[in-house]
């Protein structure tokens, strides 16, 4: 079993005709994801990356049965693309576009209220279930099928954790980059709920960052409702207050959202928290051995 993406995924790509869109679409297809359509307004009836292009997401869904969208659309149009996919009833929308204004994302999220769609991102690497499907920009070759779930606000640290696991012979169930922007569609808690329900996920690596309260909320959920081992790491331990670290949401303001607070919250919830990302693989290996 897997969460969010798997063998049942039927992918359409919004922005498939752009350079980045075409490249990442081909990478997803070559990994084994079932690619069924592209969407670029004004280019309907053409083809790209071996699939038909449609002018609208609604038409693509009706004609191909697409259930997942990858949004590789330039920042000025990305929020509208996300809202269009949700309005068309696409079950999963993965947005990798960076630097979408927060007010635009708030508007896009309103489009999902009460609907069937789930958004992952924006400003994220996407989702991969090793051996089944990838929707995003993750380097597929570093992944290995297995039972450890990975959820992270950081793309590069996701890759680091996955590489360490694979090098130790530890496979992954599903790996999800939720994004580091202030307004995102899927939280740590959303993912943890699914990992808890997934019988094939035995343990989880959770990688957070300074800023916001998502990690503290995850720690509270883990303490109350999560039964599997969790290894955690928080990036930005030496970041000065008021300094944004990489992601728009990774900033400590008013003494809140510090790495120390987040690490303590996770430890208090029973997680094994490491000081360095270089220790994630070893910590997970030890957690699995202790089960």
Residue 101: Cβ within 10 Å count: 15
Given a contact cutoff of 8 angstroms between Cβ atoms, the answer to whether 272 and 203 are in contact is: no
Q: Which residues contact 123 (CB under 8 A, 6 or more apart)?
A: 95, 96, 97, 98, 99, 100, 179, 180, 181, 184, 247, 248
Which residues are marked as active site? Answer: 247
Which of 127, 153, 155 lies closest to 251, judged by CA? 153
Q: Which residues contact 179 (CB under 8 A, 6 or more apart)?
A: 95, 120, 121, 122, 123, 124, 153, 247
- Taking the C-alpha atoms of residue 176 and residue 161, their distance in angstroms, rounded to an integer, is 12
Given a contact cutoff of 8 angstroms between Cβ atoms, the answer to whether 121 and 128 are in contact is: no
The DSSP result for 105-143, as a single string, is: HHHHHHTTTTSS-EEE-SSS-EEEETTTEEEES--GGG-
Given a contact cutoff of 8 angstroms between Cβ atoms, the answer to whether 209 and 181 are in contact is: no
- Taking the C-alpha atoms of residue 116 and residue 122, their distance in angstroms, rounded to an integer, is 18
- Taking the C-alpha atoms of residue 238 and residue 101, their distance in angstroms, rounded to an integer, is 27
């Amino acid at each position: 079993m897997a969460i969010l993406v798997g063998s049942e995924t039927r992918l359409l790509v919004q922005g498939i005709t752009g350079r980045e869109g075409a490249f990442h679409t081909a990478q997803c297809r070559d990994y084994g994801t079932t690619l069924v359509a592209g969407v670029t307004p004004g280019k309907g009836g053409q083809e790209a990356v071996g699939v038909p292009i449609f002018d609208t997401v609604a038409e693509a869904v009706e004609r191909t049965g697409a259930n997942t969208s990858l949004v590789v659309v330039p920042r000025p149009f990305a929020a509208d693309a996300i809202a269009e996919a949700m309005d068309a009833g696409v079950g999963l929308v993965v947005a990798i576009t960076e630097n979408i204004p927060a007010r635009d994302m708030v508007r896009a999220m309103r489009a999902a209220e009460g609907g069937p769609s789930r958004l992952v991102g924006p400003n994220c690497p996407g989702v991969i279930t090793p051996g089944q499907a990838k929707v995003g920009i993750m380097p597929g070759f570093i992944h290995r099928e297995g039972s450890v779930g990975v959820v992270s606000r950081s793309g590069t640290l996701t890759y680091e954790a996955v590489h360490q696991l694979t090098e130790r012979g530890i496979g992954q169930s599903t790996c999800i980059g939720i994004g580091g922007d202030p307004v995102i569609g899927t939280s740590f808690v959303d993912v943890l709920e699914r990992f808890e329900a997934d019988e094939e996920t035995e343990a989880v690596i959770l990688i957070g960052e300074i800023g916001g309260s998502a990690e503290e909320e995850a720690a509270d959920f883990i303490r109350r409702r999560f039964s599997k081992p969790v290894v955690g790491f928080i990036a930005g331990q030496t970041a000065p207050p008021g300094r944004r670290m990489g992601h728009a949401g990774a900033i400590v303001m008013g003494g809140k959202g510090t790495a120390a607070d987040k690490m303590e919250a996770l430890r208090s919830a029973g997680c094994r928290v490491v000081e360095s990302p270089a220790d994630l693989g070893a910590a997970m290996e030890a957690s699995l051995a202790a089960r």
